[in-house]
């Protein structure tokens, strides 16, 4: 069974979906650590409620990205983490973590990449008046939502769609898709490492 760390910055609904999938036996992984760059985020409360170790920090309390990523790396090493799972983590991953976890970081993004990368993807989709958006799970590289795509699922945008209704639709898809894709990637990596 692979050890994973989930990185989040906010509510942590995808973090919860991952925990629920593990409990349901849908995802064969140990969630060893939550990493959160917002100590007041609800994701931290979820970790406490579920008995998951967490490391919460504020980026501005470090001299640079390398500083806090080295501390994160120390925690990942301490908990023998095999994979990093980004779930609403609003920071670009830097060279320190990219080199240590090369090919072992995945992210979920609320659009059909390469369309609408970065922040406020749902707002970007509504502003562009597109009829379809969706969810993308991809490997992480040094760019902003530019890594190789693993899976995508579409979400139709209604005429009267609001950011709230679109967010609800996207979250429903994310909470099903992400644990399934994580399971697929972990199973595949196990086979490849034998």
CB-CB contact of 86 with 106 (8 Å): yes
Query: Which position among 109, 138, 171, 175 bears the catalytic label?
Result: 109
- Based on the residue annotation, tell me whether 138 is a catalytic residue of this protein: no
Please enumerate in sequence order all residues whose Cβ is within 8 A of that of 105, keeping only pairs 6 or more positions apart, or say none: 83, 84, 85, 86, 93, 97, 98, 139, 140
Which residues form the catalytic set? 109
């Amino acid at each position: 069974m692979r050890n994973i760390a989930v990185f989040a910055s906010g509510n942590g609904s995808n973090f919860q979906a991952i925990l629920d999938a593990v409990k349901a036996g849908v995802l064969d992984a140990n969630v060893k650590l939550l990493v959160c760059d917002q100590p007041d985020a609800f994701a931290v409360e979820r970790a406490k409620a579920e008995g998951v170790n967490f490391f919460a920090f504020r980026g501005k309390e470090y001299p640079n990205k390398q500083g806090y990523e080295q501390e994160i790396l120390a925690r990942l090493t301490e908990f023998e983490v095999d994979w990093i799972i980004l779930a609403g983590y609003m920071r670009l991953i830097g060279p320190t973590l990219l080199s240590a976890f090369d090919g072992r970081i995945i992210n979920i993004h609320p659009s059909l990449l390469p369309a609408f990368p970065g922040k406020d993807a749902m707002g970007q989709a509504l502003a562009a008046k597109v009829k379809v958006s969706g969810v993308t799970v991809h490997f992480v590289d040094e760019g902003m939502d530019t890594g190789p795509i693993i899976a995508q699922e579409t979400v139709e945008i209604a005429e009267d769609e609001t950011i709230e209704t679109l967010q609800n639709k996207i979250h429903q898809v994310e909470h099903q898709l992400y644990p399934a894709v994580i399971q697929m990637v972990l199973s595949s990596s196990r086979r490849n490492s034998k």
